[in-house]
Amino acid sequence: MTTLSLSGLSLTLVGPSDEDAIREWYELCCAVASADYPDDPPPCWAHELGSFRHPWPGEVRAVWLARVDGSPVGACTLVLPTLDNVHNAHGDILVAPGHRRRGIGRALLAHLRAEATRHRRIRLISWVAQPLDPGAPDPAGRFAAASGAVPALVQTRRRLDVSTIEPDMLARLDTEARVCSKDYSLVQWVGATPPRWLDDIAYLAGRMSTDAPLDDLQWEEEIYDAARIQGRDTCWLGRGLRVITTAAQDRAGRLVAHTHLLGGTTSPWFAWQGDTIVAPEHRGHRLGMLIKVANLKLARRERAELRLIDTCNANSNTYMVSINEAMGFRPHRRAVDWQLGL
């Protein structure tokens, strides 16, 4: 274990086998979530533990716990892409609610900057949850702006309350989408990607990294192959996520569109919307709506307790936003990618 000293704080690198430190990290995440995001599902232990033991393919992640007198007061995370985007780093900072406005966040950011620079990264990107109401308290946005970062990609997180869906609504959306997509059939699965579809899913995953609007975010295409998709699936399953997928197949037998829903073990009533993408040459056939409606129906059958689904889209992504609004998703929060030149 590496211990650093920084402005009176002790900083400890958390290792994958140090379950006590991972537990402290998890408790810090829970304290921050209940103070700042009380209407969101709480952090999931299986997911947090799994995040140390089942790394995301194509990146290296380091988490440091900050302590004062032995007690955790904050944490920071650095993620370094290794296969593409090798000039970028992702950073994340948490400060315990009772220890804020004392310069701990600033000290943790200085540490992330130094570490990212040491690894030859030229920018630090952070995904920050912010309120919809511009007049509401926004410590994270104020902190990011004070650090000199710029808001490069502004997204809105929308939420669907599945229990409020009108009985006829999904049937109507499904019928409308099918009229325009007669040349396609649906393929669905739960869990890891079946081997026969790995190459098609790799193509779609790569397109996803740049086809969704990035606005001013400096992010290059991610390189996916079958092995990286298998690594991604292993990571999801190792973190306790149940992944529900619907894809569209064209007449030639290729998968040309797909969408995922991901649910954790702690809150079976909640799921995250994962990627939704239609290959460029197959757009304009309502495939986006077709696969999302079909996947929602499958998810309701697979997870009887499912009540809330959250999705996040760039404000400039008008096509995806219009599908989500038609399905009943409504704005819940802003999610902004802040970018800091190093």
CB of 130 vs ligand COA, minimal distance in Å: 8
Looking at this protein, which amino acid is placed at residue 57?
A: P
Number of residues in contact with ligand COA, rule: CB under 6 A?
21
Contact mark string toward ligand COA, 144..183, x via CB under 6 A: --x-------------------------------------
Q: Which is nearer to ligand COA, 149 or 290 (CB)?
A: 149
Stretch touching ligand COA by CB under 6 A, among 125-133, 168-176, 245-253, 299-307: 125-133
Of the candidates 143, 197, 219, 236, which one interacts with ligand COA according to CB under 6 A?
Answer: 143
Q: Which residue is nearest to ligand COA (CB)?
A: 105
Of the candidates 5, 8, 17, 101, which one interacts with ligand COA according to CB under 6 A?
Answer: 101
Q: Which is nearer to ligand COA, 104 or 198 (CB)?
A: 104
CB of 81 vs ligand COA, minimal distance in Å: 17
- Residue 213 interacts with ligand COA (CB under 6 A): yes or no: no
Alpha helices in 67-197 (DSSP H): 104-118, 139-146, 169-180
Residue pair 31/23 in contact (Cβ under 8 Å)? The answer is no
Q: Which of 132, 129, 113 is nearest to 121 (CA)?
A: 113
Of the candidates 88, 126, 313, 324, which one interacts with ligand COA according to CB under 6 A?
Answer: 126
Q: Which of 118, 115, 103 is nearest to 9 (CA)?
A: 103
CB of 294 vs ligand COA, minimal distance in Å: 35
Residue pair 76/91 in contact (Cβ under 8 Å)? The answer is yes
Beta carbons within 8 Å of 46's beta carbon, 6+ residues apart: 239, 240, 264, 265, 266
Q: Report the SS3 class of residue 110.
A: helix
Residue pair 27/50 in contact (Cβ under 8 Å)? The answer is no
- The set of long-range contacts for 18-26, using a CB threshold of 8 Å and a minimum separation of 24, is 19/49, 21/65, 22/48, 22/49, 22/52, 24/65, 24/72, 25/63, 25/65, 25/72, 25/75
How many helices (H) and strands (E) in the chain?
9, 13
Which residues share a beta bridge with 187?
247
CB of 28 vs ligand COA, minimal distance in Å: 9
Contact mark string toward ligand COA, 102..121, x via CB under 6 A: xxxxx---------------
- Residue 142 interacts with ligand COA (CB under 6 A): yes or no: yes
* Contacts (CB under 6 A) with ligand COA, residues 59-98: 92-95
Structure tokens at 271: 């799921």
- Residue 131 interacts with ligand COA (CB under 6 A): yes or no: no
Distance, CA of 109 to CA of 115 (rounded, Å) = 10
CB of 74 vs ligand COA, minimal distance in Å: 7
Looking at this protein, which amino acid is placed at residue 270?
A: F
CB of 112 vs ligand COA, minimal distance in Å: 9
CB of 61 vs ligand COA, minimal distance in Å: 15
- Residue 32 interacts with ligand COA (CB under 6 A): yes or no: yes
Question: Roughly how many angstroms between the first and final C-alpha of the chain, as a whole number?
Answer: 27
CB of 229 vs ligand COA, minimal distance in Å: 29
Which residues share a beta bridge with 230?
none
Detail the DSSP E strand segments found in 14-70.
59-68
Residue pair 274/262 in contact (Cβ under 8 Å)? The answer is yes
CB of 179 vs ligand COA, minimal distance in Å: 44
Q: Which is nearer to ligand COA, 134 or 253 (CB)?
A: 134
Q: Which is nearer to ligand COA, 11 or 248 (CB)?
A: 11
The residue ranges that bind ligand COA (CB under 6 A) are 32, 36, 92-95, 100-106, 126, 128-129, 139-140, 142-143, 146
